[in-house]
Amino acid sequence: MEPAYCDVRALTEQLAAPLSAEDQTVQSMPDTSPTKWHRAHTTWFFETFVLGADHVPYDPSFAFLFNSYYEAVGPRHARPERGVITRPGVAEVTAYREHVDAAVRSLLDGELSPRTCELLELGLHHEQQHQELIVMDIQHVLSRNPRQPAYGPLPWKPRMPVALDGWIDHPGGVVAIGHDGRGFCYDNERPRHDVLLRPFQVARSLVTCGEWQAFIDDGGYRRSELWMSDGWHSVQALGWEAPEYWSRADDWQRFGLAGSGPVEPADPVLHVSWYEADAFARWRDARLPTEAEWEAVAPPVDVGDDGGWYGTAWQWTASPYTAYPGFRPAPGAVGEYNGKFMVNQQALRGGSLATPRGHTRRTYRNFFPPASRWMFAGVRLASD
């Protein structure tokens, strides 16, 4: 089974290792969750969906504390209140992880039903998704500290994109998008289906911080004509003047996993909302690619990443996150994984520097509300 259970579980612990118990307990806004919660919730997922009814729960209170949003599994603790939970502590969560790991490993020693195999694989991809959430969320936590502490290097090597000029032209026509059934995918990537595209082009590179500074200098955040109405409301209500984590001293500074430092003009811009991405594209007399356009031109994951397709910034698309024609949620409670979120969110494609290796696919559909900025999201332009 790919990826391997022990490797995925160990990587989560590696991500948490630089963090103190205090670091792991804080929730800096309702959208983020404490590291400790992620470590416990991913464990609860295996305990609930893989070990199942035959397993005696490690602690009966954990189902309430660590169920995220599965209505079919029962009531749960309020999401914005996750940061007030000091007990169980970090050591108890570690013991919970070890307990469930031992039970899953002994399950792996026996014969697994096809359904258990499916749920185990889903649990591994779920944990990889939470590994990125751990990185996003702790960056947000640390950014709120006036000392601007660094998280430090990630356990995997960042893939720095190469600046490439120009556009990839596509002639349009009927293209098939969606997962072809070889290997794992989430239910939201199916069914594969045909889409009719007009001729279009997509930029070879991501939008850079230097280009974003030009947008700021040209009054991008003060010109209502560039913005969707809801986006303009966000600019005013939230006081946006630059991407999340940017601040202005004499020059622009940005906060990141390595702490605070100058904005580097050649770096791809990160931490912009869909509203900002859309306004920037309009300012450039361009637009965002649709999901189908992105998928039609994106290179395969394993042929290099000079253009920053999978290892730098999730790329906002023009497409609302909705069901593909003929979509059916996965059976059982895990059918709540993707399908019920298919409203009021925009789709993002690719992957980011915080996405664990092996978790990216050309057909992968990420999604966030259009005002969200704490993800590692950037911009790839398209044009007619």
Contact 267, 376 (CB under 8 A): no
Instruction: Rank residues 68 and 201 by Cβ distance to Fe ion and give the closer one.
Output: 68
Say which amino acid occupies 59: D
Query: Which residue, 49 or 255, is less far from Fe ion as judged by CB?
Result: 49
* Minimum distance of Fe ion from residue 186's CB (angstroms): 12
Show contacts with Fe ion in window 66-105 (CB under 5 A): 68
Answer whether the bond into residue 268 is a cis peptide, omega within 30°: no
Binding mask 39-68 for Fe ion (x = CB under 5 A): -----------------------------x
Judged by beta carbon, residue 126 or residue 170, the one nearer Fe ion is 126
Select 68 or 139, whichever has its Cβ closest to Fe ion.
Answer: 68
In the bound complex, what is the minimum distance in angstroms from residue 212's beta carbon to Fe ion? 31
For the bound state, the minimum distance from the C-beta of residue 333 to Fe ion, rounded and expressed in Å, comes to 12
The residue of the chain with the least Cβ separation from Fe ion equals: 68
- C-alpha to C-alpha distance for 117 and 108, rounded to whole angstroms: 9
Let me know: does 35 contact 16? Beta carbons within 8 Å: yes
Nearer to Fe ion, 101 or 306 (CB): 101
- In whole angstroms, how close is the CB of 313 to Fe ion at the nearest point? 22
Subset of residues 174 to 203 that bind Fe ion, contact rule: CB under 5 A: none
Decide if residue 32 touches Fe ion (CB under 5 A). Answer: no
- In whole angstroms, the minimum distance from the beta carbon of 42 to Fe ion comes to 7
Q: In sequence order, which residues have a C-beta less than 8 Å from that of residue 218 and are 6 or more positions away?
A: 283
Nearer residue to Fe ion within complex by CB, 9 or 170: 9
Angle between helix 35-46 and helix 114-143 axes, rounded to 10 deg:
170
For the CB of residue 133, give the shortest distance to Fe ion in the complex, in Å.
8
Residue closer to Fe ion (CB basis): 68 or 315 = 68
Strands 382-383 and 200-203: antiparallel
CB of 117 to Fe ion, least distance (A): 20
Number of residues that bind Fe ion (CB under 5 A): 1
What are 164's two structure tokens?
């490439």
> Are the CB atoms for 138 and 132 separated by under 8 Å?
no
68/319 with CB nearer Fe ion: 68
Shortest distance, position 111 Cβ to Fe ion, whole Å: 28
Binding site for Fe ion (CB under 5 A): 68
